[in-house]
């Protein structure tokens, strides 16, 4: 779950890392007040969960509070990559001697967190790694042993930083590494980490991404930051259709019938499970089909949930027919899904035989399921019909 | 033969009194020669039985009751308690831990893996369905009830490794229908950090006399496929890549927690290119897999 810059800065600050004087504003008047308090030239930064703010005009420099107010007005109204800004961050413009980069992320191959440091901050770390590999140092660290300061010191020294900068940077990187673990981050980045003219360091920008699965145990922090439980913080905001899908899945705790993503096609998909859905979605498109949605069924959902999901898809504007398909199921019962989708058709006043192009779910309780489907005249297939062939039939129907 | 487990493998089920775990226990006892489930653990339920398997409060009680080291554990406890359960298994000398539980933060997984490494233990999963040696034993919910597992899996020369539990069965069933059985099928889990990757299981399959080819199911997200390509498998490998549509949707997660395109390396397109460079055959459709396997291993496998 991605966090806004103004939230990330609070997390950094709480960890004891100095940040440049700043404030968060949702109106231009507030922005002006913050600029007045800072009492120095400011930068007005759009608070959006997407990159490329600078290029899109979401970052502007102001010399006076009046200018800050005017820029805030413009930026608050500016959509960046279809994202509306949450607000603006009014940041003081600090006199920077040098910019550094500090970040922590997971290395999925080594299965360890990795601390990354560079004395060339302010630009993308991937870019520095490619163009100036000798200016980037990395160190994996243990998840079982508490992070020790020397591990930060080694990474800083590895790019040739010594003297007072080394001793001042060490606790900052150590705190960043610790907050990464304590706050269940998957990315914790300070870029730039600025060395000021007086030799002190402040975080001028911060980027944090928290593990979705850890949200339950980070509730206290999220409440403090004002992050609502309904905020998904995905790459794009959920559509009403997708939110309705989440409601279906939340009906009861039995299995999954949800994870809905909206597309603009005409073929409704009731598909599963995780890998099966990915495979089937590709297959439908490979056969020239235009899916109206992506979704996942799994873990043996109730009839009510399967029915709710099928209804949601059937009622989506532009959807003509639905295809009900899964890879071979082991713990999800075929007959329960069959009953759910037939119930959805009947309750909406449709003939299941007309609306369901194909039902291809083989596996547990398939005989019972196929019997029900036969009774309603729904075309079905067992495992002798491949996922690809089922998708082809769904598109051709 | 097989990898990881065989007919003699003993294991416990942690969280055995949960609804899914009760079913899983039944399925494993019924399959093949019957799994040697020597105990179950649910704190506070000492003295109960699940399908004849004695339930204990702690792993150490289960080990004492068995009177000898226990080989494995299937962990089915809720996400908030999984790390503790896995630590308990590892510290009590269990060498193979299959984690079924989903939605575990990767920090917890990393801790479990680090402890496992220090104790010479291996983790499969999390968010996986386990391991099956067709006709012999299954450890986990893989393949479902014994009669369903018998229908999908058959003994033979193909090792199967998959990031999707369901697709492990779909691919194996397709192989079985064409007359190609499986030596061992492993559902490795769909998370961003998992106990055992393709490349980490490959040496085991390479050392297994029964295995002549490997079939893998892959997805966008992560570096696991790149790691396999770098490893350079010595057995013929046929790979299927699902989720190609995700290349157009960076930052969105589909299917499994680990399936998200965050950079160029993560895309299906890039992974396919890497795998092919490493001499791995890409199957466009699941039904193409058996013929591609036969092409790679040549004659000697009856249709």
Q: How do residues B28-45 score in pLDDT, each as one tens digit?
A: 999 999 999 999 999 999
Average pLDDT over residues A349-369: 96
What is chain A's alpha carbon radius of gyration, rounded to the nearest angstrom?
A: 26
The encoded tokens of residue A225 equal 């930051």
Do residue B129 and residue A330 have CB atoms under 8 angstroms apart?
Answer: yes
Cis peptide leading into residue B126 (ω within 30°)? yes
What is chain B's alpha carbon radius of gyration, rounded to the nearest angstrom?
A: 19
Average pLDDT over residues A17-31: 96
Partners of A203 in the β-ladder = A19, A193
Distances (CA, A) of A321 to A280, B178, B228: 16, 33, 41
Do residue B252 and residue A330 have CB atoms under 8 angstroms apart?
Answer: no
pLDDT digits (tens, 9 = 90+) for A297-324: 999 999 999 999 999 999 999 999 999 9
| Euclidean distance between CA atoms B137 and B134, whole angstroms | 7
Burial class, B48, CB count within 10 angstroms (exposed 0-12 / middle 13-18 / buried 19+)? middle
Range of A250-264, B231-245, B256-270 with top mean pLDDT: B231-245
The pLDDT of residue B260 is 82
CA-based nearest distance A108→chain B, Å: 5
Do residue A331 and residue B23 have CB atoms under 8 angstroms apart?
Answer: yes
Question: What percent of chain B clears pLDDT 90, i.e. is strictly above it?
Answer: 91
The pLDDT of residue A124 is 87
Do residue B141 and residue A331 have CB atoms under 8 angstroms apart?
Answer: yes
Q: How far is CA A289 from the centre of its chain?
A: 27
Do residue A364 and residue B227 have CB atoms under 8 angstroms apart?
Answer: no
Question: What percent of chain A clears pLDDT 70, i.e. is strictly above it?
Answer: 100
Do residue A214 and residue B107 have CB atoms under 8 angstroms apart?
Answer: yes
CB B251 within 8 A of CB B262: yes
* pLDDT tier at A286, thresholds 50, 70, 90: very high
- Residues of B with Cβ-Cβ distance to A329 under 8 angstroms: 144, 166
**In this predicted structure, which of B85-89, B164-168, B295-299 has the lowest mean pLDDT?**
B295-299
Which residue of chain A is at minimal alpha-carbon distance from B258? A108
**Which one has a higher pLDDT value, B175 or B252?**
B175
| Euclidean distance between CA atoms A226 and A86, whole angstroms | 12
Residues 6+ apart with CB under 8 A from A38: A21, A22, A23, A90, A92
* pLDDT tier at A235, thresholds 50, 70, 90: confident
Rounding to the nearest 10 degrees, give the CA dihedral for residues A178, A180, A181, A187. Answer: -150
**In this predicted structure, which of A247-256, A278-287, B114-123, B196-205 has the lowest mean pLDDT?**
A247-256
- Residues of B with Cβ-Cβ distance to A261 under 8 angstroms: 252, 254
With a cut of 70, say whether residue B301 has pLDDT above it.
no
In the set B51, B66, B119, B256, the catalytic residue is: B256
Angle made by CA atoms A267, A270, A275, in degrees to the nearest 5: 110
Do residue A108 and residue B169 have CB atoms under 8 angstroms apart?
Answer: no
The pLDDT of residue A52 is 82
**Residues 16-55 of chain A whose Cβ lies under 8 A from any Cβ of chain B:** none
Strands B182-187, B49-50: parallel, antiparallel or unpaired by DSSP?
A: unpaired
Global pTM reads 0.95
The pLDDT of residue B303 is 43
Mean residue pLDDT across chain A: 95
* pLDDT tier at B1, thresholds 50, 70, 90: confident
Rounding to the nearest 10 degrees, give the CA dihedral for residues A76, A77, A78, A82. Answer: 100
CB B198 within 8 A of CB B225: yes
Which residue of chain B is at minimal alpha-carbon distance from A275? B164
* pLDDT tier at B302, thresholds 50, 70, 90: very low
Contact A283/B at CB under 8 A: yes
Contact B138/A at CB under 8 A: no
Three-state SS annotation for B227-267: HHHHHCCCCCEEEEECCHHHHHCCCCECCCCCCECCCHHHC
* pLDDT tier at B299, thresholds 50, 70, 90: low
The pLDDT of residue B225 is 96
Contact A113/B at CB under 8 A: yes
| Euclidean distance between CA atoms B125 and B130, whole angstroms | 8
Mean residue pLDDT across chain B: 95
**Residues 26-85 of chain B whose Cβ lies under 8 A from any Cβ of chain A:** 79-80
**In this predicted structure, which of A139-153, A223-237, A348-362 has the lowest mean pLDDT?**
A223-237
CB B255 within 8 A of CB A326: no
**Residues 122-181 of chain A whose Cβ lies under 8 A from any Cβ of chain B:** 126, 142-144, 181
Average pLDDT over residues A227-245: 87
Average pLDDT over residues A230-247: 88
Q: Say which of A144, A214, A278 has its CB closest to residue B219.
A: A278
Q: Which residue in A320, A382, A296 sits closest to B170, CA to CA?
A: A382
Average pLDDT over residues A211-232: 92
Residues 6+ apart with CB under 8 A from A81: A48, A50, A52, A56
The pLDDT of residue A81 is 83
| Straight-line distance from the first to the last Cα atom of chain B, in angstroms, rounded to the nearest whole number | 21
pLDDT digits (tens, 9 = 90+) for A128-179: 999 999 999 999 999 999 999 999 999 999 999 999 999 999 999 999 999 9
DSSP output for A177-205: HHHHHHTTEEEEEEEEEEEETTS-EEES-
| Euclidean distance between CA atoms B171 and B179, whole angstroms | 13
* Kind plus residue range of the DSSP H or E element containing A266: none
Rounding to the nearest 10 degrees, give the CA dihedral for residues B260, B264, B266, B269. Answer: 110
CB B259 within 8 A of CB A281: no
Average pLDDT over residues A217-233: 91
Contact B140/A at CB under 8 A: no
- Residues of B with Cβ-Cβ distance to A214 under 8 angstroms: 105, 107
The pLDDT of residue A83 is 86
Question: What percent of chain B clears pLDDT 70, i.e. is strictly above it?
Answer: 98
Active site residue B256: yes
Strands B36-41, B53-56: parallel, antiparallel or unpaired by DSSP?
A: parallel
The pLDDT of residue A229 is 84
Q: Say which of A109, A235, A282 has its CB closest to residue B243.
A: A282
Tell me the HSE value of A248 on the side-chain side, using a 13 A CA sphere. Answer: 29
With a cut of 90, say whether residue A50 has pLDDT above it.
no
The pLDDT of residue B300 is 54
Average pLDDT over residues B129-152: 97
CB B167 within 8 A of CB A278: no
State yes or no: ipTM above 0.90. Answer: yes
Do residue B169 and residue A387 have CB atoms under 8 angstroms apart?
Answer: no
| Euclidean distance between CA atoms B152 and A383, whole angstroms | 10
């Amino acid at each position: 779950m991605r966090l806004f810059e103004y939230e990330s800065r609070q997390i950094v600050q709480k960890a004891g890392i100095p940040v440049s004087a700043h404030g968060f504003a949702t109106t231009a008047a507030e922005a002006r007040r913050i600029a007045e308090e800072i009492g120095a030239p400011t930068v007005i930064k759009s608070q959006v969960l997407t990159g490329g703010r600078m290029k899109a005009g979401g970052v502007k420099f102001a010399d006076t509070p009046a200018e800050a107010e005017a820029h805030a007005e413009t930026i608050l109204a500016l959509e960046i990559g279809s994202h509306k800004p949450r607000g603006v961050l009014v940041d003081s413009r600090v006199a920077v001697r040098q910019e550094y980069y500090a970040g922590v992320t997971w290395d999925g191959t080594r299965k360890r967190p990795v601390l990354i440091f560079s004395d060339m901050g302010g630009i993308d770390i991937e870019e520095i790694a490619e163009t100036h590999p000798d200016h980037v140092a990395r160190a994996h660290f243990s998840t079982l042993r508490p992070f020790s300061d020397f591990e930060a010191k080694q990474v800083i020294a590895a790019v040739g930083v010594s003297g007072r900068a080394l001793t001042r940077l060490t606790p900052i990187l150590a705190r960043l590494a610790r907050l990464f673990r304590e706050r269940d981050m998957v990315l914790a980045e300070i870029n730039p980490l600025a060395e000021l003219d007086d030799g002190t360091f402040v975080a001028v920008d911060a980027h944090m991404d928290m593990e979705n699965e850890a949200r339950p145990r980070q509730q206290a922090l999220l409440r403090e930051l004002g992050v609502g439980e309904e905020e998904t913080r995905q790459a794009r905001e959920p559509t009403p259709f997708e939110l309705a899908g989440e409601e279906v899945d939340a009906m009861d705790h039995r299995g999954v019938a949800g994870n809905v993503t909206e597309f603009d096609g005409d073929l409704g998909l009731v598909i599963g499970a995780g890998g099966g859905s990915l495979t089937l979605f590709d297959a439908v498109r490979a056969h020239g089909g235009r899916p109206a949605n992506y979704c996942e069924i799994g873990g043996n959902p109730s009839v009510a949930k399967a029915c709710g999901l099928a209804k949601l898809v059937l009622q989506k504007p532009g959807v003509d027919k639905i295809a009900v398909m899964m890879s071979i199921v082991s713990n999800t019962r075929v007959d329960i899904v069959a009953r759910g989708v037939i119930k959805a058709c009947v309750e909406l006043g449709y003939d299941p035989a007309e609306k369901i192009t194909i039902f291809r779910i083989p596996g547990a309780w398939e005989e019972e399921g196929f019997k029900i489907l036969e009774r309603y005249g729904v075309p079905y297939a067992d495992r002798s019909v491949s996922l690809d062939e089922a998708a082809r039939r769904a598109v051709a129907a | 033969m097989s990898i990881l487990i065989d007919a003699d493998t003993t294991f416990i089920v942690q969280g055995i009194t949960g609804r899914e775990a009760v079913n899983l226990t039944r399925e494993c006892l019924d399959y093949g020669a019957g799994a040697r489930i020597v105990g179950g653990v649910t704190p506070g339920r000492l003295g109960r039985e699940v399908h004849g398997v004695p339930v204990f409060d702690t792993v150490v009680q289960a080990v004492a009751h068995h009177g000898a080291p226990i080989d494995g554990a299937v962990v089915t406890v809720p996400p908030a308690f999984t790390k503790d359960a896995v630590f308990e298994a590892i510290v009590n000398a269990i060498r193979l831990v299959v984690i079924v539980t989903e939605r575990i933060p990767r920090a917890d997984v990393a801790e479990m893996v680090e402890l496992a490494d220090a104790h010479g233990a291996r983790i499969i999963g999390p968010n996986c369905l386990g391991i099956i040696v067709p006709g012999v034993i299954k450890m986990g919910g893989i393949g479902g009830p014994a009669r369903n597992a018998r229908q999908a899996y058959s003994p033979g020369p193909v090792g199967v490794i998959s990031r999707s539990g369901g697709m492990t069965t779909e691919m194996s069933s397709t192989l079985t229908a064409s007359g190609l059985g499986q030596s061992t099928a492993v559902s490795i889990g769909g998370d961003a950090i998992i106990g055992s990757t393709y490349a980490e299981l490959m040496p085991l399959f390479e050392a297994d006399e029964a295995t002549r080819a490997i079939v893998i199911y892959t997805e966008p997200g992560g570096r696991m496929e790149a790691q396999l390509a770098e490893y350079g498998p010595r057995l013929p490998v046929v790979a299927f890549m699902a989720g190609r549509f995700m290349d157009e949707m960076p930052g969105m997660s589909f299917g499994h927690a680990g399936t998200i395109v965050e950079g160029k390396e993560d895309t299906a397109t890039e992974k396919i290119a890497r795998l092919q460079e490493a001499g791995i055959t890409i199957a466009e459709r699941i039904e193409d897999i058996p013929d591609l396997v036969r092409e790679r291993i040549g004659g000697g496998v009856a249709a």
